[in-house]
Every structure is written in structure tokens, then in C-alpha cells.
Structure 1
Amino acid sequence: MMNTQYTLRVLNMGAVGLIAMFLASCQRPATVAAPEPVMPAYPDNIALRQRGLLNDTFSNDAQAASAPGATAPKQTAAKPESLEEWGKQLFNQHGCVSCHSNKQVAPPLERLYGQESHKLTDGSAIKVDEAYLRESIVNPTAKVAAGYPPIMPSFRHLPKEEVDALVAYLKTL
């Protein structure tokens, strides 16, 4: 015969409570492998308004995802006609705009392409061409802009076509 009081308590805990109870009863502490971060932690100097907007977005997304019967959102947006427009869409979608719109957080990208003497943290200077833009997207710590910490996450997981679109967009700024 089941203890009804205990059964009701377990039912009220829900799935998260049951998992927590199970993990607590294990001999060894459970470890979870963390995925590679997709965005660096907020620096102290990020604008409060931007931080609030980002937090509101994440909070709304989390509430929508946890609603009863919620399913993963479908990515149905069609590719824009031009490579540059698609790059702009990807720039926003991948969160690049959140850091690169504040020059205190990340280097501004306007009129970057074509610079003959772009200064790097190691004291050298390079020409900003397509190769540099590509490398900065997939291996951002290889050549870091002077005055900025190496906090940009790598986007090496992006398909070549998306990197091409991002480079095409960056060239228009």
C-alpha cells in the first residue's frame, strides 16, 4: 500500500523536483558538461538599457518555452534575396549587434573594411580585408583589435555560406 501523503508530495514536486531528489540521493555528485558559450558574460560597463532589453528578451523566451504545450519555435524566415541582407539578418540573429553596437564593449564595425592600418593588441597593424573578417568570425582571438579584451566567442560552427553572408554584410558598413 502506498503512502498517500508521500505520493501527493512527489506529484506536487513535478519533474524538476523528482530529478533534483534523484541527484541528491546519488553517491557521487552529478556533473554536467557545459556547452561552449555563445556569448560572453556581460561586462560591467554594458549599458543598463541594453542589459535590461536583453534580460527582458531572455525572460520572455524562457516563459514562452516553459508554457504548457510549448514547442520549439520554427525557423521559417526565408533567406533574403541578397547576400548582404542575409548577413545583416545573421548579424542580428547571432547576437553580434549586442556587443558591436557599443564601442565600450567591442570594436565598432562601421567603415572597418578596407582600413589599411588596423591596430591589434600585440602592437601590429593589418589591412582589414575579407580574410581578416573571416578569421575574426571563426577564430576571434587570433588577431584582437587594440583596446579590447579577447571576449568574442568563436563562430567556427557556422556553415561557410553564413560566414560569407556575414562578411558581405560587414563590407557594407
Structure 2
Amino acid sequence: MTTRFALIAAAALLAGCAGSGDSAYRAASLEQPDCYTVDPFKTPRIKKPSDKVPAAWRAFAGRWGGGAWDGFVCHDLYVMAVEPSGDVLLFDAHGPGFGTDATAFTRKGRIGPDGHLRVRKGAAMVEYWIEDGKLHGVRVKGNARNRIIMSRRELARRYVAATPKVVPTADPS
């Protein structure tokens, strides 16, 4: 009888955690200022977007970090180039998680008419957008859906002109 009571009490306690405070806790855990991913062999170079790039799209350029997917997998994103077409060149770094060791890749993405940056990462599709000065993200792979919130990080030199031009890609959406 005591074991049964303990199980019922534990279930009630867990159900209580799913209240309104839970969403605030989850949002706070998505931001982790001390999160570490990888040390790039060579610091990614950020190209200053031209005036032909819409201002909302230019805001993506730079280094973003201090967040973890669902509070567990640290992530850094360097948006190295944003073109007037919406094509984007990225340096994408993750700490250990999602079944792999820490990784870093150069990727191509595209900003759509809705102002969201989308990039395919293997079988996963990731969507980023800027809200209240933070970079929010959703990663979808099969039925799994992960979230993150990152902050802008400063580079020693914020913009460097010698970044290669982005080669246009098919729209990943």
C-alpha cells in the first residue's frame, strides 16, 4: 500500500510540474551563456551584408551562441554571409549530442519571404528567426522537435570583407 501511495504522489508531483511555470523554466534552460561547442581551427569570417540585403535579413549576420537545444546540446552559429537573394553561408557548431560527438560544418541556408532562415542538416530541417534581439530556433527530425534561444556574440573583428560569395542553392523548404 505504501508503494502504491508513493507512486500516486510522484505522479501528482510530476503533473504539477507541467503548469504555467514549466514553460518559463524550459525557455530559461534554452539559453545557457556558458555553453561550449568547439574551437574552430580558423575563426569563421563574417562578411558585412550589402545595402541590397533587407535590414531584417542583415540582422542574422554575425556570431550567435549561449544556447542549447532543449537545454542539453550546446550550439554556436556563425552567419558568415547573407546575400540579397536570401542565400546564407553558415558555420554551424554543436557540442556532443544528437548521437554524435561535437561537430562543426559549413552549411548553406536560405532566408524565406517570412524572414526565417532555414537550413537542412542531414535528415533534420532547422528554422531560425530573430525575436526580441535573440536568435530562436526549431530543429525537426522525424517526430522529434527541439528548440533553442541564442544571443549575439562578439567577434574580435565583427565584419571582414574577404568572405567567399554564397553559391545559390535550391530552397530547402
Q: Smaller-chain TM-score range?
A: under 0.3
> Greater strand percent: which structure?
2
TM-score, normalization by structure 1: 0.25
TM-score, normalization by structure 2: 0.25
